[in-house]
Chains A and B, each alone.
Chain A
């Protein structure tokens, strides 16, 4: 791909340039903490009335019982929502989303997925996201928005009944909330795995370069 040459030039021209600005790093790690708190307390809440024929292991739940899980969930939600909202606003306002996540073309995604699966996907320039990254990052932002909206609907199904109707009805919103959690967990596994495979990406998310 022609972008590979551009990429190499960028790297050699500005070797020490900031890959992840400070606001991205701060919000990323706050979000990571908030997500983990929300997932572990969410599993506790799930266990009180499982949607499927399984429960989450007690050791991986937060709060000790339903009441404790709910307290954690409704405390961490502020962290998740305020941080998430700030991230969305800054992402759009600075043009980061447009610059980093767009365009996403089907041919680009196909090409990079194939390259990734055959371990031929380059990571020379971390400032440019490949199509796999763009798809996953844009996708997980969307999932994040949906999980918050379905969660808000379940928290306030009367005040926000229009939000619940958007998802169908209350039980459907609950299923959607669950599947978004599953998607986030799957993302988390892939995301952490890939960050460990390309450690300099992890370094960039900690010290910026």
Chain B
């Protein structure tokens, strides 16, 4: 799997995450603290320099972890995301990524195989025609981006919980961790309760057609109970695990649960 470009070669990513924010890649730290000037505005207001960036950062990180726990606690796996009629679908459904569509992964469906790893009985890889044979359902739900915009779309695919059952996954494990074909290794962890949510889907079609490149061909994980960045596209592998392995945006400071 391609390592994220800003990772130091040879350094175990898990160890990196375990370390404090100070060892985090320069890129994300810079983005986080870049608000020095704006923190200054607060300093002016309070009249003292209580908000020095590193201690504020530590405090915010722990509140975010606390929020993860609160959200996991109040998350009711039986609560279904509202569904909509076809007439409500947003057209065109936006393409959104941290790169242009031209730079989006261009996966060859004939070569592609979904790799299955971790706490599962059957670790066989799945080719696209095999996955297409699994029972599929269609759902029209609202995709909500962490940025605040939202759009309603129609996604068709296999419920994740059916697939987890099929491969004999240990559903007592904490996470399903997805890795993507993006060249800098997009990935994202999904908590098991959400993975087992009836609407969490391995998506193969958008609006009735094979998932186009813009929306994550060949496979997207559609999670209507999570913000968009926790709906990985161009998925190449999934791992059932008890370890928190971080994620592309999660590592940079987005709240990891980010459940709606």
The residues of A with any CB-CB pair to B shorter than 8 Å are 33, 36-37, 40, 44-46, 48-49, 51, 58-68, 70-72, 74-75, 78, 155-159, 161, 164, 170-171, 174
Interface of A (DSSP majority class)? helix
Which 6 pairs between the two chains have the least Cβ-Cβ distance? A64-B35, A67-B253, A49-B147, A48-B147, A75-B63, A64-B34
Select which of B31, B45, B64, B79 is within 8 A of A75 by beta carbon.
B64
B252 touches A67 (CB 8 A): yes
The answer to whether the Cβ of B32 comes within 8 Å of any Cβ in the partner chain is yes
> 26 A-B contacts, Cβ less than 8 Å apart?
A33-B46, A36-B45, A40-B38, A40-B42, A44-B38, A45-B148, A49-B147, A60-B38, A62-B39, A64-B36, A67-B32, A67-B254, A68-B33, A70-B255, A71-B63, A71-B253, A75-B60, A75-B63, A75-B64, A78-B63, A156-B259, A157-B81, A158-B224, A159-B74, A170-B144, A171-B150
The answer to whether the Cβ of B112 comes within 8 Å of any Cβ in the partner chain is no
Given contacts A161-B79, A164-B82, 8 further A-B contacts (CB under 8 A): A63-B38, A65-B34, A66-B147, A71-B60, A75-B59, A159-B74, A161-B81, A171-B150
Least Cβ distance of A182 to chain B in Å?
16
Chain B: interface residue total (CB-CB under 8 A): 44
Tell me the bound Cα distance from A158 to B257 in angstroms.
Answer: 14
B64 touches A74 (CB 8 A): yes
Interface string of B76-113 (1 = CB under 8 A from A): 10011110000000000000000000000000000000
Select which of B63, B149, B253 is within 8 A of A68 by beta carbon.
B253
Tell me the bound Cα distance from A62 to B142 in angstroms.
Answer: 28
B38 touches A159 (CB 8 A): no
Select which of A33, A40, A45 is within 8 A of B41 by beta carbon.
A40
The answer to whether the Cβ of B122 comes within 8 Å of any Cβ in the partner chain is no
Q: Which of B33, B67, B224 has the largest number of chain A CB atoms within 10 A? A: B67
The residues of B with any CB-CB pair to A shorter than 8 Å are 31-42, 45-46, 59-61, 63-64, 67, 74-76, 79-82, 142, 144-150, 224-225, 249, 252-255, 259-260
Select which of B32, B35, B64, B260 is within 8 A of A157 by beta carbon.
B260
A71 touches B260 (CB 8 A): no
A74-B63, A158-B81, A158-B225 are known contacts. Are A68 and B35 too (CB-CB below 8 A)?
yes
Least Cβ distance of A155 to chain B in Å?
7
- Chain B, Cβ-Cβ closest to A33: B46
Contacts of B31 in A (CB 8 A): 64-65, 67-68
A70 touches B254 (CB 8 A): yes
Contacts of A62 in B (CB 8 A): 35, 38-39, 41-42
A49-B145, A64-B31, A64-B35 are known contacts. Are A156 and B60 too (CB-CB below 8 A)?
no
- Chain B, Cβ-Cβ closest to A58: B38
Contacts of B145 in A (CB 8 A): 49
A156 touches B64 (CB 8 A): no
Select which of A44, A68, A158 is within 8 A of B80 by beta carbon.
A158
Tell me the bound Cα distance from A62 to B45 in angstroms.
Answer: 13
A64 touches B64 (CB 8 A): no
Contacts of B64 in A (CB 8 A): 71, 74-75
A64 touches B32 (CB 8 A): yes
A46 touches B255 (CB 8 A): no
Tell me the bound Cα distance from A68 to B53 in angstroms.
Answer: 11
Least Cβ distance of B89 to chain A in Å?
14
Contacts of A78 in B (CB 8 A): 63
